[in-house]
């Protein structure tokens, strides 16, 4: 029996409530899958749209740009968060109550991303929409840091460093978006495109 498993089993027998990591990971995958799917639901043509020719269709599709860009950026943010979650390694097979409470809060924030994406997609010209979206992403990053600290038997390898750097980049891009919203809210959203650099930074950090 591995040392981490033995330690967690001892905690369970001592009266501490422990939760199987496999079940938590399964629910996390499901929540991410649903949240990433819901993102696209707001990218649609109006129900009363009745084009008369091909130009009308093309013009309507161009009008969806304001919603499609937030969709792509949010899909990127959630995809990177999911990838970083599965790459961080832990030898612990059970998780304590405090971790699970923070983990549930983390999933709550993930389920809020489709809503904040919808708001910023419809009202990107208004700074409060950017603030809401940035607050959502900053909280996701902050809670992720807390989960890292609470993860038992976490392996301090390059995967953990990659996740840490990607979280810092997410916070930095969020702060930059808020600052940019005071100048041009519609353009401020592009600050989140900086998260595309996360894989490049990870590879560069390993050299």
By DSSP bridging, strand 18-20 and strand 94-96 are antiparallel
SS3 assignment, position 14: coil
Contact 175, 169 (CB under 8 A): no
Phi then psi dihedrals of residue 80, to 5 deg: -65, -35
More confident residue, 177 or 50: 177
- pLDDT exceeds cutoff 90 at 198: no
pLDDT, position 47: 77
The contacts found for 193-199 with CB under 8 angstroms, 24 or more apart, are 193/73, 194/169, 195/73, 195/76, 195/77, 195/80, 195/166, 195/169, 195/170, 196/76, 197/169, 198/80, 198/162, 198/165, 198/166, 198/169
Distance CA 191, CA 24 (A): 32
Average of per-residue pLDDT across 117-143 = 94
Q: Which of 5-9, 74-78, 171-175 has the lowest mean pLDDT?
A: 5-9
Mean pLDDT of the chain: 84
For 49, what's the count of Cα atoms within 13 Å in the CB-facing half-sphere?
15
pLDDT of residue 151: 81
pLDDT, average across residues 105-110: 96
- The reported pTM is 0.82
Average the pLDDT over 114-119 and give the result.
95
Which pLDDT score is estimated for 116? 96
Counted domains in the chain: 1
pLDDT number for residue 7: 46
Rounded distance between C-alpha atoms, residue 188 and residue 186, angstroms: 6
Please report the pLDDT score of residue 96 as a whole number.
85
Average pLDDT over residues 184-203: 83
d(CA 104, CA 24): 10
Q: Which two tokens stand for residue 206?
A: 């390993």
Count of C-beta atoms within a 10 Å radius of residue 49: 11
Question: What confidence category does residue 83 fall into, taking pLDDT thresholds of 50, 70 and 90?
Answer: confident
* Closest residue by Cα to residue 141 from 114, 99, 175: 175
Q: Give residue 150's pLDDT.
A: 84
Taken in order 104, 116, 165, 145, the sign of the CA dihedral is negative
Structure confidence at residue 204 (pLDDT): 65
Helix (H, G, I), strand (E, B) or coil at 96: strand
- Give the model's confidence band at 35: pLDDT under 50 very low, under 70 low, under 90 confident, else very high: very high
Q: Is the pLDDT of residue 54 over 80?
A: yes
The packing angle between helices 65-87 and 158-181, to 10°, is 150
* Contact in structure between 88 and 145 (CB atoms under 8 Å): no
Give the domain extent around 11.
3-205
Q: Which pLDDT value is given to residue 124?
A: 87
Is 129 a residue whose pLDDT tops 60?
A: yes
């Amino acid at each position: 029996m591995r040392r981490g498993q033995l330690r967690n089993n001892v905690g369970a027998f001592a009266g501490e409530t422990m939760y199987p990591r496999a079940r938590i990971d399964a629910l996390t995958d499901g929540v991410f899958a649903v949240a990433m799917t819901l993102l696209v639901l707001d990218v649609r043509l109006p129900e009363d749209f009745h084009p008369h020719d091909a130009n009308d269709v093309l013009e309507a599709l161009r009008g969806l740009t304001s919603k499609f860009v937030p969709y792509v950026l949010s899909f990127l943010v959630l995809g990177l968060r999911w990838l970083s979650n599965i790459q961080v390694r832990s030898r612990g097979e059970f998780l304590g109550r405090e971790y699970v409470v923070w983990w549930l809060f983390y999933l709550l924030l993930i389920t809020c991303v489709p809503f904040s994406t919808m708001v910023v997609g419809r009202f990107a010209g208004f700074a409060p929409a950017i603030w809401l979206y940035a607050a959502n992403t900053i909280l996701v990053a902050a809670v992720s840091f807390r989960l890292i600290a609470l993860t038992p038997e976490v392996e301090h390898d390059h995967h953990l460093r990659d996740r840490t750097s990607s979280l810092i980049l997410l916070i930095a891009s969020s702060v930059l978006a808020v600052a940019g919203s005071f100048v041009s809210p519609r353009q401020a959203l592009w600050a989140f495109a900086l998260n595309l650099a996360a894989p490049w930074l990870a590879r560069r950090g390993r050299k």
